[in-house]
Amino acid sequence: MRIDIISATPEVLESPLNHSIIKRAKEKGLAKIFIHDLREYGMGNYRQIDDTPFGGGAGMVLMIEPISKCIEGLKNQRLYDEIIYMTPDAKTLTQPISNALSLKKNILILAGHYKGVDQRVRDKYITKEISIGDYVLTGGELAAAILTDSIVRLIPGVIGDETSALTDSFQDNLLSPPIYTRPSDFKGMKVPNILLSGNFPKIDEWRSEKAFERTQQIRPDLLDEPSK
């Protein structure tokens, strides 16, 4: 898989995309991630990428011209399955969305900044818009990193035990059940006996029951959603 990210502040992405699971995926050749500095496509001697909004109002808006030059240049080199804009005024990222995107070959992500991008960018180029929650960040870089992480970890071979990703929260519209590790008794706080029994069918049954209970208590809204 190849992921290209367009950013006004690319340095923000350096750490989250060069450590842990994403780093291993890149080293194994399972994922290629390229960050493109929008200012390299800026206008004039000062490489301008933003301007004041028509109609007045506070804040700055990313201009269409630099973004267009960057996207068109990348599109001339390859076909993108999705061109994604990270913005708070969009559909919230869910596990099924990450699952679907992990099956793609080439993805282009545009990180928003300032007040956002010229609407014509969204109308002309964007195929999918994604939010990571009902709040506003300084820029879309961290959101782009979160999306990238959620996708890359699902690529076969990235995680040592591939079944691990299949038991994460939200895979079946359920939260994960409680998990434990050594010691089995910590200051009187004991691990449930069932997990020490070696009876794996019963353990699976216990985990399913606990997953349902936790979801019912914490996120009952998930139980109303159809599985995808």
| pLDDT, position 163 | 57
Q: Return residue ranges of the chain for CATH 3.40.1280.10.
A: 2-152
pLDDT at 39: 97
Q: pLDDT tens across 132-151, in order?
A: 999 999 999 999 999 999 99
Across the chain, mean pLDDT equals: 94
Higher-confidence residue: 139 or 170? 139
CA dihedral 154, 133, 138, 145 (to 10 degrees): 0
Per-residue pLDDT, 172 = 78
Please give the Cα distance from 43 to 45 (Å, whole number): 7
Question: Where does the chain hold its CATH 1.10.1270.20 domain(s)?
Answer: 167-224
Counting Cβ atoms within 10 Å, is residue 108 exposed (0-12), middle (13-18) or buried (19+)? buried
* Confidence (pTM): 0.88
pLDDT exceeds cutoff 80 at 15? yes
Residue with the larger pLDDT of the pair 169 and 79? 79
The alpha carbon of 57 is separated from its chain's Cα centroid by a whole number of angstroms, namely 31
Q: What local confidence, expressed as pLDDT, does residue 165 receive? A: 62
Please indicate whether residue 55 or residue 114 has the higher confidence score (pLDDT).
Answer: 55
pLDDT band at 2 (very low <50, low <70, confident <90, very high): very high
The burial of 39, by beta-carbon neighbours within 10 Å (0-12 exposed, 13-18 middle, 19 or more buried), is given as middle
pLDDT for res 79? 98
Contact 49, 179 (CB under 8 A): no
Q: Does domain 2-152 have CATH number 3.40.1280.10?
A: yes
Q: Report domain 167-224's class.
A: mainly alpha
Strands (DSSP E) contained in 15-81 are: 32-37, 50-51, 61-62
Q: Crossing angle of helices 20-27/141-152, nearest 10°?
A: 60
- Provide the token pair at 225: 């959603």
